[in-house]
Amino acid sequence: MVVGAFPMAKLLYLGIRQISKPLANRIKEGARRSEFFKTYICLPPAQLYHWVEMRTKMRIMGFRGTTIKPLNEEAAAELGAELLGEAIIFIVGGGCVVLEYWRHQAQQRHKEEEQRTAWVSMQAEVGRLALALEALQTQVQAAPAPGALAELQAQMQEVRAQLRAREGNARSTPKTVSASEKSEAAEA
């Protein structure tokens, strides 16, 4: 099973979002029971939401100067708890999106850094090879020209021919051997 190809981070974010729904439900239940939470956290956003919603509906229907009655406390607490639960789910989902974006950006930066490092190493290698090429070119330029090489080979053949000729002459002439050379040869 390929683990690297499976998007573990996305699965984790999905799990967090799924856990946020029961968490939001528990917070809603706590908001309904707690008087402080109900009065200061749930009621003001619920009344504002109700006012904006009703005002928009009245304007769409053509009633301009109608006053809007506030919700009763029980309905406002229920609406506020629902708004709070949805806000929690939205914030958790938005946080997951932001975390995924940051993770993707970090991966992208890492990938770009690796490419930059590879590029720098390739440039260094090209520079090293350029220096080696220059050194080889100077060696080639300093080497004797091919005509000079052929000339040197011809001279070497002449010298060899002369040496062979001298060797052949030395063998044909009798050699005088001294008495000490004879005694050394006999001992060997």
Count of alpha carbons within 13 Å of 53, Cβ hemisphere only? 10
- Give the separation between CA 163 and CA 143, rounded to whole angstroms: 28
Torsion angle of alpha carbons 75, 81, 83, 85, nearest 10°? Answer: -150
pLDDT in tens, the chain (188 residues): 444 545 776 777 777 777 877 887 787 788 778 888 888 888 899 999 999 999 999 989 888 877 889 999 888 988 888 888 888 888 888 888 888 899 899 999 999 999 999 999 999 999 999 999 999 999 888 876 667 778 888 898 999 888 888 887 777 665 555 555 555 555 55
Q: Are 114 and 69 in contact (CB under 8 A)?
A: no
Contacts of 93 (CB under 8 A, 6+ apart): 17, 20
What's the pLDDT score for residue 134? 93
pTM above 0.85, yes or no: no
